[in-house]
Amino acid sequence: MLLSRLSRPKALAVCAVPVVALLGVAVFAPLPFAVAEPGPTTNVLGDSKGKPVIEISGAPTRDTSGKLRMVTIVATGPDSDVSLGDVVDSWFRTDRAVMPRDAVYPTGNTSKEIEQHNLGEMKKSQDSATAAALGYLGKNPAEVKVNLQLGDVGGPSAGLFFSLGIVDKLDGNGSGGDLTGGRSIAGTGTITPDGTVGAVGGVSLKTQAAWRDGAKVFLVPKAECSDATAESPKGLRLIPVTTLKGAVTALNSLNTGKGTVPSC
C-alpha cells in the first residue's frame, strides 16, 4: 500500500488532503437552514403604505396617541443557499438566528407558494383578531366592520396586536384614555377568536427589533418568556400574556400604577 512506503509526516499529509477538501466543500455547500434577523415593525394604530392599518365602520372610533408596534423577523428565502460559513457566523451573533429551513418554511417549495401560504395565515389571523376584539368589547360583528391591512407582511404573529389596536380605537382604556398610555408598546403573539394568545417563534430577534424602533415595553406570549429574556435588550420591559383580556388588564395596570403587572 502507498501509505506503508511513506514516512509518518508524509502519510499524515496525504491523509489531510481529502479532509481539507471535504471541509472546503462543506464551507461552501448549501445547508438545510435559514438565517433570520430582526425585521421591520409597524404601528397598527397608524398607516402602512399610505393606508390605515385598521379601518372601522359601524361604530364611533377615537383618536389615539402612542404606538402599538407589531414586530417581524426576516429570513433567507427558501431558494437561498446557506453555507457552513453563514451558519458559523450567525451562531456567534445575537442579532441573527439559525433555524431549520423546514421550521421557517413548513409549507411549499417555492417562494411564491410560501408567500401565498403566509398571506393566507395573515388573513386568518386578521379574522381571529377582529372576532377576539369585538367579542371582548361586546360589539356585534354584524354591525361593526373592521378592515385590516398590512401590505405584504404574512403570517399569524400580528394577531394580538391587531386585536389591541381595534380595542384602542373603539374603547381605549375604557375610561377615556389610551390603551397605550401614550407609550410605544411592541409585542407579538397569535390570537384565537376567543382571545387566547399563542406562541410565535423568533421572539429573541423580535425584542431587538422592538428596542431598535423605540419600544420600551414588549408583550410576549407567556410560553416564550425564556426565549424573550435570552437576548432581550437591557431596559426593555417584558410582559407575559396568555389572553387578550390579560393583555388589556396589564397595560391598564402599567398606565395607572394600580394592580400587578406581570413580568418574565
Contact partners, residue 171, CB within 8 Å, separation at least 6: 62, 137
Check residue 107 and give its pLDDT: 62
pLDDT-based confidence at residue 31 (cuts at 50, 70, 90)? low
Q: What are the pLDDT digits (tens) for 238-249?
A: 999 999 999 999
Q: Are strands 145-148 and 54-57 parallel, antiparallel or unpaired?
A: antiparallel
First-residue to last-residue Cα distance in the chain: 64
Who's near 6: CB < 8 A, 6+ residues apart? 14
**Contact status, residue 68 vs residue 46, Cβ threshold 8 Å:** no
Backbone angles phi, psi at 98, to 5 degrees: -100, 125
State residue 21's pLDDT score.
37
Q: What percent of the chain has pLDDT over 70?
A: 82
What pLDDT does 252 receive?
96
pLDDT at residue 126 greater than cutoff 50: yes
Quick count: other Cβ atoms within 10 Å of Cβ 253?
15
Residue type, 15: C
Q: What is the pLDDT of residue 108?
A: 60
pTM for this prediction = 0.82
- CA pair distance 22, 176, nearest whole angstrom: 67
**Which cell numbers in the block locate residue 176?**
377615556
Query: Is it the case that residue 121 has pLDDT exceeding 60?
Result: yes
Residues 6 or more apart whose CB falls under 8 angstroms from that of 245 comprise 136, 195
Average the pLDDT over 85-110 and give the result.
72
pLDDT value of position 219: 98
d(CA 30, CA 10): 33
Cell of 64: 389615539
Average the pLDDT over 19-29 and give the result.
Answer: 41
- Taking residues 178-204, report their average pLDDT: 96
For residue 110, what is its C-alpha cell? 417555492
pLDDT at 69: 97
DSSP string for residues in 135-162: HHHT--TTT-EEEE--TT--SSTTHHHH
How sure is the predictor about 17, in pLDDT bands with cuts at 50, 70 and 90? Answer: very low
Please check the confidence at residue 152 and state whether its pLDDT lies above 80: no
Regarding predicted confidence, which is higher, 30 or 15?
Answer: 30
Q: Give pLDDT, residue 111.
A: 72
Mean pLDDT over each residue of the chain, to the nearest integer: 84
* Mean pLDDT within 168-177: 96
